[in-house]
Structure 1
């Protein structure tokens, strides 16, 4: 008996014979679950088709020519192989059983869906979701045969080849089954996670739902209703109802987009009974499979169907995580938690995208706490003294956004949504305290006006002092520190330089607050005037005088200076850490050396993470700068930042002119006043970060000097050991010397803290939000079925490219031209990479963050504040970044 075609549900349909998807559906059918009827074209049929036509030999030859470092060769191989499949006739010993099964198991008149069901030997734990094709609305025998061939050939799509190259999977390890099922013209459909995939909470299920077929949702094109439900009772804990304007329907044998009736657009697509039924189905599936499941479902005529199910891996271990070694070094006493506390990475994650060292934490925690206390001191509210604003959780710095929302609402009467997009707040924050408290707002109006005036004064002082900060830092960097005592150096770092940092951090907070207020005001006007607040992105792009935007342009100019003086060979054959010395030894390199020194004078206070003390600044170690020049030399430096700047400036001018033509004269007066103010504030906010980072350079120099001295004395083994001491440790050693060193057992202490730091550093992710009890929070709207992620639209345009998940700058070499950069957060040190990429996806940041500003300057589509992006976007997956809608999706 032929095993080329078997009924769906047949006991012989193992993963090896049917592929994982078909084997799972067959198991569900045999267990009594409602699955649409159908049949399976087995992997035996695929193997027979390939070997009978000797395609395997051609595939092996094409595979051998693929260059793992050249994406273009992946695409060329995919096109060649898929063309072979399309040109090869299916033999009758396969096509005849397909025709018979269609007539026998379904009907010649019925519409079917034809889905790929891949099998990869040795990778039973992989789902390969989204890599292979599915064809909907297929009718007729020959159409089904053709769809089967297209599913077979999708085993050799560009993204499938890229994935297998990356994971070392050979052609001989892969095969393809194909499922042919009756298509369900669903009234409602969507996805189910039987365990909360964000927190790993087994007591919660997440349901996404849309009207009609879930096609748009699974392709990342639609926004679903989202329900968080209790796993036992099925009761809804939380819901977010989307505005569902379009649905996909099956109409007389064809798929089409149809408008959703007005009455149903903001109506929940599922009733409480529906939710309870889907949750009950989820419980049954977990019991049947013994593991959490990701389920695609559909409802038709009150019948609930399973269209697909696959196991999911949840983050079940966050609560149980405990770092080895010494992981407890609080700089100040912890305050009691409050119900409104919600700790997030939305703002802090941009400054500190990695776990922090003890010296960094013990320096910054008091600074940030005092800064926030000073910001709201004029409220004179008793509850303010009990708020803890900054906390270290899972090795990282978290900010208390829940408290910020509470203070703004309680103290000023404004809802959290007024600041949410500006700082990249998560949905749970923006949805808190949504109402305006008008009585409170009116009562606080005199205070608010005084604060706004204070902000203006501080902003003016900050901008006025920019040149003074340059002079202070330049003078200090020219000083000979060798004759100064340890105590003197430490007193300078912790005295004058820390005081300056705190003062200007407060000024920068005022600039940020004012910029957010003005940004929100402009969005409201644009919405009222022309109904499109997203126009603001084009109105603030291409601004002159943004220092961070100079980094890429200056590096680009240095690259051409290297070419002009014919030093490409020197750069490409010398190790980056040796290039500075090599340049000083070459008389003909003097112009390039001068250019490098000018660059470092302007930007040398930057590092891979500016606010983390352990990382050397570029002026200490310019290796990263030289690496980027070498990258530009290898790639040909085709990207011209000066041209990009001109394009963005023209976009801003065009957007301004278009808007002026659409509004009346009075509106134009208000528009120009507000636009000028917004440009100034955006520029000061971003340049203010440049100067705050510059104020860190003298402190870093003091720390590096003390570290070297303490190694020479035998107190420390390595200079980096210094950064695993807290401020309190260092002050004890400065006070008592050798006695404190012996008593503390510094080598053991440092090693213990290093172990804890590396434990957190090696973890690829951490919760984006943690509640007052220390539990990770599942944020409504953060979990979507299919391949769709929502975030904050930061820089307009749309880009399609290969996603490259980069967790730190040390992995930047993996980026290639045209890639989409997916990472947690970026600061100015990442700017040199912008010449390679076509788009940006970030887990943190807001519309006024550094990353958003610079992305707009270079015209790179960007979506930021995308919850869990580095974990949820598959590395190597071709994705679309929609910088206008704030969405990231893939098929």
Structure 2
């Protein structure tokens, strides 16, 4: 259609068909322009050479009788005293070149003046500004044009909305600008517009705004989001509002977002495991872990180390840092998906898995593709399905064998206690851990592959076969799975139960006299505590950050949990799992009854595999926690050695050095080692500054660019009693809110309280046994917090923006885990 009416008109036509409020009108087609040129004996190609003369030739031409009659009748049918006439160039508003503002638009046009304005639009193709723009952008341009004629919106306010901030290149907020009256003054820059930044999710409009402005801004946000969904990209949308209602008058893609020097970064589900800036040591280890992890995945599908080394700029750079926080390089992840057949579907599943909802069209480049011979590429594509089938069939068995292999390897790392290993040996042990990931981490990676694909397939079937919203159905299909994540809570509950039977031990526990308690325990209780420490002692809160002490390092963290469990009188954690499993099965049966037998069998099979995949992924995550805990133990011992030798003032300073720097120090390859203390001090200051700054969740950056944030432009979170997010675990509860950002700082969580926090990782799981509900600023249906909340059967809502600021500790709140609603019922 675009070649007939131009890009702008084609987009308006699509929006009109999709139910958008578009003003009534018609389009003079590009073919009509051809007819006009032939009638006036004008040659388009010669006109492009002599642009100034072409403008006058078009203006001075006349309309053929048939064309004049058709346009006149269309104008009459609009029954409007004032019209808008807009250019709609073929090739205008493209993904790479928008040509915004280069062509003419005319408002408040009388019906009898429409023909002259149509000629002005056509003449604009050859104007000096469009010609210069095409040359500058390297675009030859398509010299065809449609012209839109519409009823003029008698606007009391009009403006534009960008679904990405043009300055910071962040897509977290919509930028809305508007002026009173018609929008031409905004486009021409005649007046300074009003401006507001609306959050992409859960937008807030200041209470001080008049009702008609607040309502209009709500509609702007709503229709801009729908325009993104319709076109599949970020948009720049013009709108107008008046007594006749709200109207969309134009939508174009936001351009120049991709290129060899540009990448898109997002931390959508990274914030769950890495909620704070990473220290240099943690980053250097995590970065190498993810590089080894993705290489192990690609190895499963036949990509050799030689081939991967040739594409190292992609596979070894899947993550990066923005203001000290870890982010996905989304371009590189999408490039990896293009290593395989059916990459479009794999990207869709990846987005579903990590919760990436912002529309972004990745453009594959030859430099991002595997450097392999034609036969190897053909073979890997042919072998994709057999290899993926093997992942479906054998992941469970391979992961079980891997668990034993990991434990054997860990015993080898510990064969000589870390405190007795020389510093060089400790560094070598750390390298062996990273080498183990690259050589052997394929089974946990296989579990992640299954979790990426299968729940996405389930959601597709829910949408296609059951005609339901997957988000409201999936939360009931993935609870009561008896995940290994529950086991630490089971062990803690059993220890708490035994202590509660003994009044003397209970008093020691309540008073926090943990050493005396340990000395007074009988053999059975000692066995239970030792069993917990052997199996889960290397876990901790924020375990992926590597900086938090583990239960083994700081047993008081374990005993604090035991004390809270003893005080709750909660039933055995597995009781909740059994209840949720029965509820899930009943719901699944009722759901499947709506399908014909063949579809019922297919759906149940894929659902069962999806549930198994989640359970396998949790087992892999547990092993990852063990690995990071082991790395922390080695790093701490290295810190003690370097402190003793005088290289570091404090053992904890080692976390502010990269692992490669430690290796250089140990082997006397570090230039100017006397500068290390001042370097550590500088990095500590930088980390503190990063902690005070929250960078965007989704943004575009050039190579080497530093993320920018606006200062003072965004509205601070308003005092509101109603918030929304994504319901990730069903149920309704009303209780006291406990805002906890770091459990290690101590917390007042009591039985039945609603836990409110930024994000949770596996180390938080025991707190879920105490909480009566969960509110998270980050996360989605497949995040760890959501999965475990469903296991414990507590209502949970994720993605509640600024929840830890809008909800005060001690507020009485209610949450609806089905609707994704959070309400502050009573403030403290």
The interval holding the TM-score normalised by the smaller chain is 0.5 to 0.7
State the match for 1:274 in structure 2. 240
Partner of 2:775: 841
How far has the Cα of 1:831 moved from its partner?
Answer: 1.4
- Equivalent residue for 1:473? 410
Whether the 8 Å contact between 1:421 and 1:846 is mirrored in structure 2 is no
Distance in 2 separating the partners of 1:864 and 1:420: 17
Match among 393, 413, 424 for residue 355 of structure 2:
424
Report the 3-state secondary structure (helix = DSSP H, G, I; strand = E; otherwise coil) of the residue aligned with 2:667.
helix
Counterparts of residues 114-513 of structure 1 (less than 5 Å): 205-206=196-197, 227=220, 238-240=224-226, 272-274=238-240, 338=260, 341-372=263-294, 375=297, 385=313, 388-405=317-334, 408=337, 412-414=342-344, 416-425=347-356, 427-429=357-359, 432=361, 446=382, 448-453=384-389, 455-456=391-392, 460-474=397-411, 476-477=413-414, 479-495=416-432, 497-513=433-449
- SS in structure 1 at match of 2:622: helix
Pair 1:776–1:338, CA change in 2 (3 A)? farther
Counterparts of 2:667 and 2:339, CA distance in 1: 45
Residues 341 and 637 of structure 1: is their aligned pair in 2 closer, same or farther, counting only changes over 3 Å? farther
1:561 aligns with 2:498: yes
Alpha carbons of structure 1 residues 195 and 710: separation in structure 2 relative to 1, 3 Å: closer
CA distance in 1, matches of 2:441, 2:563: 35
Contact kept? 2:291, 2:318, Cα under 8 Å: yes
Say whether 1:768 aligns with 2:697. yes
CA distance in 2, matches of 1:741, 1:584: 48
**CA contact under 8 A between 1:803 and 1:822: conserved in structure 2?**
yes
Question: Structure 1's 433 and 409: CA in aligned 2 closer, same or farther, altered over 3 A?
Answer: farther
The alpha carbon displacement at 1:678 in A equals 1.6
2:521 pairs with 1:614: no
User: Take 1:477 and 1:771, find their aligned partners in 2: how far apart are those partners?
Assistant: 44
SS in 2 for 1:419: helix
| 1:89-133 deviations in Å (ceiling 9; x for gaps) | xxxxxxxxxxxxxxxxxxxxxxxxxxxxxxxxxxxxxxxxxxxxx
Aligned partner (choices 520, 524, 538) of residue 591 of structure 1: 524
Q: Secondary structure at the match of 1:754?
A: helix
Partner of 2:509: 571
Distance 1:505 1:642 in 2: 30
Query: Secondary structure at 1:512's aligned position in 2?
Result: helix
The aligned counterpart of 1:882 is 816
Matched ranges for 1:501-650 at <5 A: 501-532=437-468, 533=470, 534-544=472-482, 546-566=483-503, 567-574=505-512, 579=514, 581-586=515-520, 588-633=521-566, 635-638=567-570, 640-650=572-582
The alignment partner of 1:662 has SS state of: coil
Provide the rounded CA distance (Å) in 2 between the counterparts of 1:535 and 1:493. Answer: 44
| CA apart distance, 1:228 | 6.3
* Equivalent residues, number: 593
Structure 2 CA distance for aligned equivalents of residues 752 and 273 of structure 1: 49
How far the C-alpha of 1:480 sits from its partner, in A, is 3.2
Task: Output the TM-score relative to the length of structure 2.
Answer: 0.62
Structure 1 SS opposite 2:574: helix
3-state SS of paired residue (2:476): helix
Distance 2:597 2:748 in 1: 52
Q: Could you report, residue by residue, the CA deviation over 1:503-562 in whole angstroms, capped at 9, with x for unpaired residues? A: 455443332222221111122223334333333332221113x21111222212111111
Aligned to 1:663: 595
Q: CA deviation at 1:788?
A: 5.7
Q: Deviations over 1:386-411 (max 9, x none)?
A: 57321111121111235434654796
Deviations 1:141-188 (A, max 9, x none): xxxxxxxxxxxxxxxxxxxxxxxxxxxxxxxxxxxxxxxxxxxxxx99
TM-score by length of 1: 0.58
1:752 aligns with 2:701: no
From the superposition, tell whether residues 401 and 867 of structure 1 become closer, same or farther in structure 2 (CA, over 3 Å): farther
Q: CA RMSD in A?
A: 4.7
1-structure distance, mates of 2:495, 2:480: 22
1:688 corresponds in structure 2 to 620
In 2, the alpha carbon distance for the partners of 1:721 and 1:711 equals 9
Secondary structure class of the residue paired with 1:398: strand
How far is the alpha carbon of 1:612 from its aligned partner?
Answer: 2.2
C-alpha distance in structure 2 between counterparts of 1:727 and 1:886, whole Å: 43
Q: Partners in 2 of 1:788 and 1:777 — Cα distance? A: 27
**Unaligned segments of structure 1, at least 5 residues:** 1-186, 230-235, 244-269, 276-298, 305-335, 436-441
| C-alpha distance in 2 between matches for 1:223 and 1:873 | 28
Q: Distance in 2 between matches of 1:443 and 1:703?
A: 43
Secondary structure, counterpart of 1:341 in structure 2: strand
Contact 1:208 / 1:225 at 8 angstroms: preserved in 2? no
8 Å Cα contact 1:583-1:590 kept in structure 2: no
Shift of 1:356: 1.0
SS of the equivalent of 2:535 reads helix
